[in-house]
Structure 1
Amino acid sequence: MKTKRSLKVMVLAALTATLSAGTAFAGDLTASSASASFNTSQNIDKGAITLQEMSGLYIYENYLYGIRINGAELRKYMEHAASFYGTTPDYNYDMIQGVDYTIDMNQPVGHRIAKLQYQGQDVKDTDTFTMTINDYRMNGGSGYMAAMGYTDGRKPEVVFDSMRKYGDDGQMRALMIQYVKDKGTITPTCDHNWSVIPKK
């Protein structure tokens, strides 16, 4: 395994790439993913990549779920994430890949997602998405399910379950490692799909 550029906590890109490479969702649903930056001290420099370095990017033994949600639920998820921006521990704050958005920390709670677009179009409440999350989030971790309105044991529709599909190989670290092995050489990029307007 090799990288042509320095790799700095590319968890979100790996989540999206893993699913798009091997798991197609049915219908015309748009794909997105949510993840926290678990280990901001982990760098992978240009050259050969070790298994230890890959494991250092994602330090938990999580599995992945693909869930079906609408635009209103996506916005609620992102609003909840905004409440953790700049706080610790880092694993509470999720970043979203697959959409373009701006968080305005000067706005009141419920209105901090100032911009939310998919492929240049504003996201409507009725738009349908599949979003990849880990099992910790799916099981209520950090309150994201409740923020979307899933309480009393209710959960969103599951369209993908990495443990059911791959067994132990469905753990996030194993998926990322296999993805890089399959590619042979990767060239990480950052698409700058989100930004934050800090509180004045």
Structure 2
Amino acid sequence: MEALSLLTTRNSAAKLAAPGPSDSELAELFAAASRAPDHGRLRPWRFLLIRDNGLSALGDLFAEAALRREPTLGEPELARFRQQPLRAPLIIVVVACLQNHPKIPLIEQQLSAGCAAHGMLLAAEALGYAGIWRTGANAFDAHVMAGLGLSANEEVSGFLYIGSREGRAKPLPEIAMADYVKDWR
């Protein structure tokens, strides 16, 4: 896919199915991620692959966390949390690894991890796959972070659901550039 076309047409896909990227294709996603802007070359990210049986385990973790947040949840609501990771054959957890650095603020490191995630979504699309970047309460939940093995200096930037697009891409709305682009002077 031509680069500019990819950048202007990439679209999140909520409905994903198998197959997902092969190991060699995943290497290409991670190569794209590694080209994210990165002040000081800190590489302030790492990635967790969730697939196969790990998807169900992540669903259990999501349900446990939801029950801790809201102890009155019933089984239908908990089942919904258990099903969330099963919406794609692969989830890549983007972890921001934040360092106390005298010249590189945390926000730059967080943005770098976000750019790495975006690079992976673009690479997946270029390879013929689709994806969606999800966060929600689970991305910020201490129980989920502990269950994923994150350190005190790490946080979830997002859950990238990756797979083959089911159905057609949703139409992208037209964006009026004049609504958010202005000359400064």
Higher helix share: 2
TM-score after normalising by structure 2: 0.24
TM-score after normalising by structure 1: 0.23
Higher strand share: 1
